[in-house]
Protein backbone atom coordinates (compact mmCIF):
# COMPACT_ATOMS: atom_id res chain seq x y z
CA UNK A 1 0.00 0.00 0.00
CA UNK A 2 2.93 2.34 0.70
CA UNK A 3 4.09 2.08 -2.93
CA UNK A 4 0.59 2.91 -4.16
CA UNK A 5 0.34 5.99 -1.94
CA UNK A 6 3.79 7.11 -3.08
CA UNK A 7 2.72 6.72 -6.71
CA UNK A 8 -0.53 8.62 -6.08
CA UNK A 9 1.28 11.46 -4.32
CA UNK A 10 3.75 11.79 -7.21
CA UNK A 11 1.08 11.50 -9.92
CA UNK A 12 -1.34 14.07 -8.49
CA UNK A 13 1.45 16.35 -7.26
CA UNK A 14 3.24 16.49 -10.61
CA UNK A 15 0.06 17.10 -12.61
CA UNK A 16 -0.94 20.04 -10.38
CA UNK A 17 2.55 21.57 -10.64
CA UNK A 18 1.32 23.64 -13.60
CA UNK A 19 -2.31 23.79 -12.49
CA UNK A 20 -2.25 27.25 -10.94
CA UNK A 21 -1.25 28.95 -14.20
CA UNK A 22 -2.72 26.50 -16.75
CA UNK A 23 -5.51 28.80 -17.96
CA UNK A 24 -3.23 31.84 -18.22
CA UNK A 25 -0.67 29.79 -20.17
CA UNK A 26 -3.27 28.55 -22.66
CA UNK A 27 -4.57 32.07 -23.25
CA UNK A 28 -1.02 33.40 -23.67
CA UNK A 29 -0.58 30.80 -26.42
CA UNK A 30 -3.43 32.43 -28.34
CA UNK A 31 -6.51 30.55 -27.14
CA UNK A 32 -9.74 32.32 -26.26
CA UNK A 33 -11.89 31.43 -23.25
CA UNK A 34 -14.42 29.90 -25.64
CA UNK A 35 -11.74 27.63 -27.12
CA UNK A 36 -10.62 26.60 -23.64
CA UNK A 37 -14.27 25.75 -22.94
CA UNK A 38 -14.44 23.60 -26.07
CA UNK A 39 -11.30 21.74 -25.00
CA UNK A 40 -12.73 21.04 -21.54
CA UNK A 41 -16.03 19.94 -23.08
CA UNK A 42 -14.11 17.56 -25.35
CA UNK A 43 -12.32 16.19 -22.27
CA UNK A 44 -15.60 15.64 -20.41
CA UNK A 45 -17.30 13.87 -23.33
CA UNK A 46 -14.27 11.65 -23.95
CA UNK A 47 -14.07 10.69 -20.27
CA UNK A 48 -17.77 9.82 -20.23
CA UNK A 49 -17.26 7.51 -23.21
CA UNK A 50 -14.14 5.85 -21.81
CA UNK A 51 -15.02 5.73 -18.10
CA UNK A 52 -16.76 2.36 -17.88
CA UNK A 53 -14.72 0.47 -20.53
CA UNK A 54 -11.32 1.46 -19.11
CA UNK A 55 -12.31 0.72 -15.52
CA UNK A 56 -13.83 -2.57 -16.64
CA UNK A 57 -10.43 -3.34 -18.19
CA UNK A 58 -8.91 -2.61 -14.77
CA UNK A 59 -11.40 -4.89 -13.00
CA UNK A 60 -10.51 -7.77 -15.32
CA UNK A 61 -7.09 -8.04 -13.70
CA UNK A 62 -5.14 -5.13 -15.18
CA UNK A 63 -4.77 -2.79 -12.20
CA UNK A 64 -1.01 -2.25 -12.45
CA UNK A 65 -0.89 -1.73 -16.20
CA UNK A 66 -3.74 0.79 -15.93
CA UNK A 67 -1.78 2.85 -13.40
CA UNK A 68 1.43 2.73 -15.46
CA UNK A 69 -0.44 3.71 -18.63
CA UNK A 70 -2.13 6.59 -16.78
CA UNK A 71 1.27 8.06 -15.87
CA UNK A 72 2.60 7.55 -19.42
CA UNK A 73 -0.42 9.23 -21.02
CA UNK A 74 -0.20 12.08 -18.53
CA UNK A 75 3.49 12.57 -19.37
CA UNK A 76 2.58 12.81 -23.07
CA UNK A 77 -0.14 15.36 -22.23
CA UNK A 78 2.29 17.55 -20.29
CA UNK A 79 4.89 17.34 -23.05
CA UNK A 80 2.35 18.31 -25.72
CA UNK A 81 1.11 21.17 -23.53
CA UNK A 82 4.64 22.55 -23.44
CA UNK A 83 4.90 22.37 -27.23
CA UNK A 84 1.34 23.44 -28.12
CA UNK A 85 0.79 26.77 -29.83
CA UNK A 86 -2.55 26.21 -31.56
CA UNK A 87 -6.08 25.07 -30.77
CA UNK A 88 -5.61 21.74 -32.60
CA UNK A 89 -2.44 20.92 -30.64
CA UNK A 90 -4.14 21.66 -27.33
CA UNK A 91 -7.04 19.42 -28.38
CA UNK A 92 -4.60 16.62 -29.20
CA UNK A 93 -2.92 17.10 -25.81
CA UNK A 94 -6.26 16.97 -24.03
CA UNK A 95 -6.99 13.56 -25.54
CA UNK A 96 -4.05 12.08 -23.61
CA UNK A 97 -5.09 13.92 -20.43
CA UNK A 98 -8.63 12.56 -20.65
CA UNK A 99 -7.42 8.98 -21.14
CA UNK A 100 -4.94 9.29 -18.26
CA UNK A 101 -7.51 10.69 -15.83
CA UNK A 102 -10.03 8.01 -16.81
CA UNK A 103 -7.47 5.24 -16.36
CA UNK A 104 -6.49 6.34 -12.86
CA UNK A 105 -9.89 7.56 -11.62
CA UNK A 106 -11.40 4.26 -10.53
CA UNK A 107 -8.30 2.07 -10.67
CA UNK A 108 -6.28 3.93 -8.05
CA UNK A 109 -8.91 3.77 -5.28
CA UNK A 110 -9.82 0.20 -6.19
CA UNK A 111 -6.16 -0.87 -6.02
CA UNK A 112 -5.68 0.98 -2.75
CA UNK A 113 -8.70 -0.63 -1.05
CA UNK A 114 -7.77 -4.10 -2.30
CA UNK A 115 -4.17 -3.74 -1.14
CA UNK A 116 -5.32 -2.46 2.26
CA UNK A 117 -7.86 -5.27 2.63
CA UNK A 118 -5.12 -7.87 2.24
CA UNK A 119 -3.44 -6.27 5.28
CA UNK A 120 -6.71 -6.01 7.26
CA UNK A 121 -6.79 -2.22 6.91
CA UNK A 122 -10.20 -0.60 6.49
CA UNK A 123 -11.26 1.18 3.31
CA UNK A 124 -11.73 4.40 5.27
CA UNK A 125 -8.20 4.35 6.70
CA UNK A 126 -6.59 3.58 3.35
CA UNK A 127 -8.57 6.24 1.44
CA UNK A 128 -8.09 8.86 4.16
CA UNK A 129 -4.34 8.20 4.35
CA UNK A 130 -4.03 8.37 0.57
CA UNK A 131 -6.05 11.61 0.37
CA UNK A 132 -3.90 13.11 3.12
CA UNK A 133 -0.61 12.50 1.32
CA UNK A 134 -1.99 13.20 -2.16
CA UNK A 135 -3.33 16.63 -1.20
CA UNK A 136 -0.22 17.42 0.82
CA UNK A 137 1.88 16.61 -2.25
CA UNK A 138 -0.37 18.74 -4.46
CA UNK A 139 -0.06 21.63 -2.00
CA UNK A 140 3.75 21.47 -2.11
CA UNK A 141 3.98 21.06 -5.90
CA UNK A 142 1.47 23.85 -6.59
CA UNK A 143 3.36 26.29 -4.34
CA UNK A 144 6.61 25.42 -6.13
CA UNK A 145 4.92 25.94 -9.49
CA UNK A 146 3.51 29.32 -8.45
CA UNK A 147 6.91 30.47 -7.17
CA UNK A 148 8.70 29.45 -10.40
CA UNK A 149 6.23 30.70 -13.01
CA UNK A 150 7.68 34.23 -12.98
CA UNK A 151 11.27 32.94 -13.07
CA UNK A 152 11.12 30.18 -15.70
CA UNK A 153 9.27 30.05 -19.00
CA UNK A 154 5.94 28.24 -18.55
CA UNK A 155 6.58 25.83 -21.44
CA UNK A 156 9.79 24.68 -19.74
CA UNK A 157 7.83 24.00 -16.56
CA UNK A 158 5.52 21.75 -18.58
CA UNK A 159 8.53 19.84 -19.92
CA UNK A 160 9.86 19.46 -16.37
CA UNK A 161 6.45 18.12 -15.33
CA UNK A 162 6.42 15.71 -18.28
CA UNK A 163 9.85 14.34 -17.33
CA UNK A 164 8.75 13.99 -13.69
CA UNK A 165 5.61 12.14 -14.76
CA UNK A 166 7.68 9.80 -16.94
CA UNK A 167 9.81 9.02 -13.88
CA UNK A 168 6.56 8.39 -11.95
CA UNK A 169 5.52 5.78 -14.54
CA UNK A 170 8.85 4.00 -14.01
CA UNK A 171 8.30 4.12 -10.25
CA UNK A 172 4.89 2.52 -10.74
CA UNK A 173 6.29 -0.15 -13.03
CA UNK A 174 8.98 -1.33 -10.61
CA UNK A 175 7.65 -0.52 -7.13
CA UNK A 176 3.96 -1.39 -7.21
CA UNK A 177 3.16 -5.05 -6.64
CA UNK A 178 1.18 -6.95 -9.23
CA UNK A 179 -2.38 -5.93 -8.35
CA UNK A 180 -4.02 -8.81 -10.18
CA UNK A 181 -6.27 -9.87 -7.31
CA UNK A 182 -8.98 -11.14 -9.64
CA UNK A 183 -7.23 -13.95 -11.51
CA UNK A 184 -10.54 -15.67 -12.17
CA UNK A 185 -11.72 -12.63 -14.09
CA UNK A 186 -9.21 -13.31 -16.86
CA UNK A 187 -11.26 -16.34 -17.79
CA UNK A 188 -14.21 -14.07 -18.50
CA UNK A 189 -14.68 -11.91 -21.53
CA UNK A 190 -12.89 -8.61 -21.15
CA UNK A 191 -16.00 -6.55 -21.96
CA UNK A 192 -18.45 -8.52 -19.80
CA UNK A 193 -19.99 -6.35 -17.11
CA UNK A 194 -21.80 -7.79 -14.12
CA UNK A 195 -24.61 -5.23 -14.28
CA UNK A 196 -26.86 -7.31 -12.02
CA UNK A 197 -24.46 -7.23 -9.08
CA UNK A 198 -23.88 -3.48 -9.45
CA UNK A 199 -27.61 -2.76 -9.70
CA UNK A 200 -28.37 -4.86 -6.59
CA UNK A 201 -25.83 -2.90 -4.56
CA UNK A 202 -27.09 0.46 -5.83
CA UNK A 203 -30.72 -0.54 -5.15
CA UNK A 204 -30.02 -1.80 -1.63
CA UNK A 205 -28.04 1.30 -0.69
CA UNK A 206 -29.77 4.07 -2.63
CA UNK A 207 -29.30 6.76 0.08
CA UNK A 208 -25.54 6.21 0.07
CA UNK A 209 -25.16 6.43 -3.71
CA UNK A 210 -27.55 9.39 -4.04
CA UNK A 211 -25.64 11.37 -1.41
CA UNK A 212 -22.26 10.39 -2.89
CA UNK A 213 -23.31 11.59 -6.34
CA UNK A 214 -24.84 14.83 -5.04
CA UNK A 215 -21.85 15.73 -2.85
CA UNK A 216 -19.49 14.97 -5.74
CA UNK A 217 -21.52 17.21 -8.04
CA UNK A 218 -21.49 20.10 -5.57
CA UNK A 219 -17.76 19.62 -4.92
CA UNK A 220 -17.01 19.80 -8.66
CA UNK A 221 -19.15 22.93 -9.06
CA UNK A 222 -17.32 24.64 -6.19
CA UNK A 223 -13.94 23.53 -7.58
CA UNK A 224 -14.88 25.14 -10.91
CA UNK A 225 -16.44 28.38 -9.66
CA UNK A 226 -14.96 29.14 -6.19
CA UNK A 227 -12.97 32.12 -7.55
CA UNK A 228 -16.27 33.89 -8.27
CA UNK A 229 -16.82 34.42 -4.54
CA UNK A 230 -13.89 36.88 -4.52
CA UNK A 231 -15.41 38.98 -7.28
CA UNK A 232 -17.08 41.57 -5.07
CA UNK A 233 -15.55 44.70 -6.49
CA UNK A 234 -12.14 44.15 -4.87
CA UNK A 235 -9.11 43.91 -7.13
CA UNK A 236 -7.64 40.61 -5.92
CA UNK A 237 -4.23 39.84 -7.46
CA UNK A 238 -3.92 36.55 -9.30
CA UNK A 239 -1.07 35.47 -6.99
CA UNK A 240 -3.45 35.61 -4.00
CA UNK A 241 -5.91 33.35 -5.80
CA UNK A 242 -3.03 30.98 -6.60
CA UNK A 243 -1.94 30.87 -2.97
CA UNK A 244 -5.57 30.35 -1.90
CA UNK A 245 -5.77 27.43 -4.35
CA UNK A 246 -2.69 25.87 -2.74
CA UNK A 247 -4.13 26.25 0.74
CA UNK A 248 -7.38 24.63 -0.41
CA UNK A 249 -5.27 21.58 -1.20
CA UNK A 250 -3.60 21.73 2.23
CA UNK A 251 -7.02 22.04 3.85
CA UNK A 252 -8.16 18.84 2.16
CA UNK A 253 -5.02 17.09 3.36
CA UNK A 254 -5.83 18.14 6.93
CA UNK A 255 -9.45 17.04 6.46
CA UNK A 256 -8.27 13.61 5.30
CA UNK A 257 -5.97 13.26 8.31
CA UNK A 258 -8.81 14.31 10.64
CA UNK A 259 -11.27 11.85 9.09
CA UNK A 260 -8.81 9.01 9.44
CA UNK A 261 -8.71 9.47 13.22
CA UNK A 262 -12.40 10.12 13.89
CA UNK A 263 -15.36 7.71 14.03
CA UNK A 264 -17.78 8.17 11.13
CA UNK A 265 -20.51 9.79 13.24
CA UNK A 266 -18.17 12.43 14.67
CA UNK A 267 -16.74 13.15 11.22
CA UNK A 268 -20.20 13.92 9.88
CA UNK A 269 -21.01 16.09 12.92
CA UNK A 270 -17.76 18.03 12.43
CA UNK A 271 -18.60 18.57 8.75
CA UNK A 272 -22.07 19.89 9.59
CA UNK A 273 -20.62 22.28 12.21
CA UNK A 274 -18.33 23.62 9.48
CA UNK A 275 -21.33 24.19 7.20
CA UNK A 276 -23.06 26.22 9.93
CA UNK A 277 -19.95 28.42 10.29
CA UNK A 278 -19.78 28.76 6.48
CA UNK A 279 -23.37 30.00 6.32
CA UNK A 280 -22.67 32.61 9.00
CA UNK A 281 -19.49 33.84 7.28
CA UNK A 282 -21.19 34.17 3.89
CA UNK A 283 -24.27 35.99 5.11
CA UNK A 284 -22.58 37.96 7.93
CA UNK A 285 -18.96 38.69 6.85
CA UNK A 286 -16.51 39.29 9.70
CA UNK A 287 -13.57 41.75 9.52
CA UNK A 288 -13.59 41.96 5.70
CA UNK A 289 -15.49 40.34 2.87
CA UNK A 290 -12.33 38.89 1.35
CA UNK A 291 -11.19 37.32 4.65
CA UNK A 292 -14.66 35.91 5.35
CA UNK A 293 -14.92 34.37 1.90
CA UNK A 294 -11.43 32.88 2.17
CA UNK A 295 -12.35 31.15 5.43
CA UNK A 296 -15.75 30.06 4.04
CA UNK A 297 -14.20 28.50 0.93
CA UNK A 298 -11.48 26.74 2.94
CA UNK A 299 -14.04 25.34 5.41
CA UNK A 300 -16.26 24.24 2.49
CA UNK A 301 -13.50 22.14 0.95
CA UNK A 302 -12.56 20.83 4.42
CA UNK A 303 -16.11 19.68 5.21
CA UNK A 304 -16.87 18.27 1.76
CA UNK A 305 -13.62 16.29 1.70
CA UNK A 306 -14.61 14.71 5.04
CA UNK A 307 -17.98 13.64 3.65
CA UNK A 308 -16.48 12.34 0.40
CA UNK A 309 -14.00 10.12 2.23
CA UNK A 310 -16.74 8.74 4.49
CA UNK A 311 -19.06 8.09 1.55
CA UNK A 312 -16.43 6.64 -0.78
CA UNK A 313 -15.05 4.32 1.90
CA UNK A 314 -18.58 3.16 2.71
CA UNK A 315 -19.20 2.39 -0.95
CA UNK A 316 -15.97 0.40 -1.24
CA UNK A 317 -16.90 -1.61 1.85
CA UNK A 318 -20.02 -2.78 0.02
CA UNK A 319 -18.56 -3.95 -3.28
CA UNK A 320 -16.42 -6.86 -4.42
CA UNK A 321 -13.00 -6.51 -6.02
CA UNK A 322 -14.37 -7.87 -9.31
CA UNK A 323 -16.58 -4.78 -9.83
CA UNK A 324 -14.79 -2.22 -7.67
CA UNK A 325 -13.39 0.09 -10.36
CA UNK A 326 -16.42 -0.39 -12.61
CA UNK A 327 -18.85 0.63 -9.85
CA UNK A 328 -16.70 3.67 -9.13
CA UNK A 329 -16.80 4.57 -12.83
CA UNK A 330 -20.60 4.24 -12.94
CA UNK A 331 -20.89 6.77 -10.08
CA UNK A 332 -18.40 8.99 -11.91
CA UNK A 333 -20.43 8.70 -15.11
CA UNK A 334 -23.56 9.98 -13.36
CA UNK A 335 -21.51 12.91 -12.03
CA UNK A 336 -20.12 13.80 -15.45
CA UNK A 337 -23.50 13.62 -17.19
CA UNK A 338 -25.08 15.84 -14.52
CA UNK A 339 -22.22 18.37 -14.61
CA UNK A 340 -22.37 18.62 -18.39
CA UNK A 341 -25.79 20.20 -18.00
CA UNK A 342 -25.26 21.91 -14.65
CA UNK A 343 -22.08 23.85 -15.44
CA UNK A 344 -23.80 26.14 -17.99
CA UNK A 345 -26.84 26.53 -15.70
CA UNK A 346 -24.69 27.44 -12.68
CA UNK A 347 -22.71 29.90 -14.80
CA UNK A 348 -25.95 31.49 -15.98
CA UNK A 349 -27.28 31.59 -12.40
CA UNK A 350 -24.10 33.32 -11.18
CA UNK A 351 -24.40 35.90 -13.98
CA UNK A 352 -28.02 36.57 -13.01
CA UNK A 353 -27.98 36.41 -9.20
CA UNK A 354 -24.32 36.51 -8.19
CA UNK A 355 -22.15 34.05 -6.31
CA UNK A 356 -24.76 33.56 -3.57
CA UNK A 357 -26.03 30.58 -5.53
CA UNK A 358 -22.80 28.76 -4.57
CA UNK A 359 -23.47 29.27 -0.88
CA UNK A 360 -26.96 27.81 -1.34
CA UNK A 361 -25.43 24.73 -2.97
CA UNK A 362 -23.05 24.31 -0.03
CA UNK A 363 -25.91 24.54 2.46
CA UNK A 364 -27.78 21.73 0.68
CA UNK A 365 -25.13 19.24 1.82
CA UNK A 366 -25.71 19.35 5.61
CA UNK A 367 -29.46 18.97 5.05
CA UNK A 368 -28.90 15.89 2.89
CA UNK A 369 -26.23 14.42 5.14
CA UNK A 370 -28.42 14.89 8.21
CA UNK A 371 -31.42 13.26 6.58
CA UNK A 372 -29.56 10.39 4.96
CA UNK A 373 -26.83 9.73 7.52
CA UNK A 374 -28.59 10.43 10.82
CA UNK A 375 -32.34 9.86 10.35
CA UNK A 376 -31.69 6.75 8.26
CA UNK A 377 -29.48 5.58 11.16
CA UNK A 378 -26.58 4.97 8.83
CA UNK A 379 -28.54 2.28 7.00
CA UNK A 380 -26.60 3.05 3.83
CA UNK A 381 -23.28 2.84 5.64
CA UNK A 382 -23.52 -0.66 7.12
CA UNK A 383 -21.01 -3.06 5.77
CA UNK A 384 -22.61 -5.89 3.86
CA UNK A 385 -20.26 -7.45 1.31
CA UNK A 386 -22.13 -9.13 -1.46
Residue 222 lies in a domain: yes
Give the model confidence (pLDDT) of 10-64 as tens digits: 999 999 888 877 877 888 888 887 788 788 888 888 988 888 888 887 777 788 8
Residues 254, 381, 61, CA angle at the centre, nearest 5°?
A: 80
Residues 41, 43, 49, CA angle at the centre, nearest 5°?
A: 105
Residue 295 lies in a domain: yes
Q: Which domain holds residue 329?
A: 2-381
Which has the minimum average pLDDT: 76-85, 137-146, 201-210? 201-210
Of the pLDDT bands very low, low, confident and very high (cuts 50, 70, 90), residue 100 is very high
Q: What are the CA-CA distances from residue 37 to residues 65, 72, 74, 90 (Å)?
A: 31, 25, 20, 12
Residue 287 is classified by DSSP as: S
Residue 174 lies in a domain: yes
Give the model confidence (pLDDT) of 316-328 as tens digits: 888 877 788 888 8
Start-to-end CA distance of the chain, whole Å, equals: 24
Question: Which is higher by pLDDT, 298 or 290?
Answer: 298
Residue 232 is classified by DSSP as: S
Question: Which is higher by pLDDT, 80 or 367?
Answer: 80
Rounded Cα distance between 95 and 103, Å, is: 12
Give the model confidence (pLDDT) of 232-266 as tens digits: 544 555 566 677 788 889 999 999 999 999 888 88
pTM of the model: 0.83
Ranked by mean pLDDT, the top range of 86-100, 142-156, 359-373 is 86-100
Please report which helix (H) or strand (E) contains residue 242, including its range. helix 238-260
Residue 386 lies in a domain: no
Q: Which among 365, 224, 346 has a CA at the least distance from the CA of 308?
A: 365
Beta carbons within 8 Å of 305's beta carbon, 6+ residues apart: 131, 135, 251, 252, 255, 256, 259
Contact 350, 228 (CB under 8 A): yes
What total of structural domains would you count in the chain? 1
Residue 377 is classified by DSSP as: T
Domain containing 192 — which CATH number?
1.20.1250.20
Residue 139 lies in a domain: yes
Residue 163 lies in a domain: yes
Question: Which is higher by pLDDT, 221 or 127?
Answer: 127
Residue 216 lies in a domain: yes
Can you say how many angstroms the Cα of residue 201 is from the centroid of all Cα atoms in its chain? 23
Residues 158-184, buried b or exposed e (16+ Cβ, 10 A)? bebbbebbbebbebbeeebeebebbee
Give the model confidence (pLDDT) of 325-351 as tens digits: 888 888 888 888 888 777 777 777 766
Rounded Cα distance between 100 and 144, Å, is: 23
Residue 192 lies in a domain: yes
Q: Which among 305, 19, 302 has a CA at the least distance from the CA of 141?
A: 19
Amino acid sequence: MRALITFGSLFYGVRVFTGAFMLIYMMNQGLTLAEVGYIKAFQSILMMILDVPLNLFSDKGFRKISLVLAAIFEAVWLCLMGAADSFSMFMAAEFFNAVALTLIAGTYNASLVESARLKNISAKESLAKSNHYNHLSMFIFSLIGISLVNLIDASILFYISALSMAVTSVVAMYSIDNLDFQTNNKKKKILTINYKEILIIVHNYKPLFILLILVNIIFNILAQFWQVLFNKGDNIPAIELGVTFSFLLLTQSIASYTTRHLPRRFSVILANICFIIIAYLIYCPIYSQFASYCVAIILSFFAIRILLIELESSMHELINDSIRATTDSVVSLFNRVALLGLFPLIGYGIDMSGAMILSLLVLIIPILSSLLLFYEKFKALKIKRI
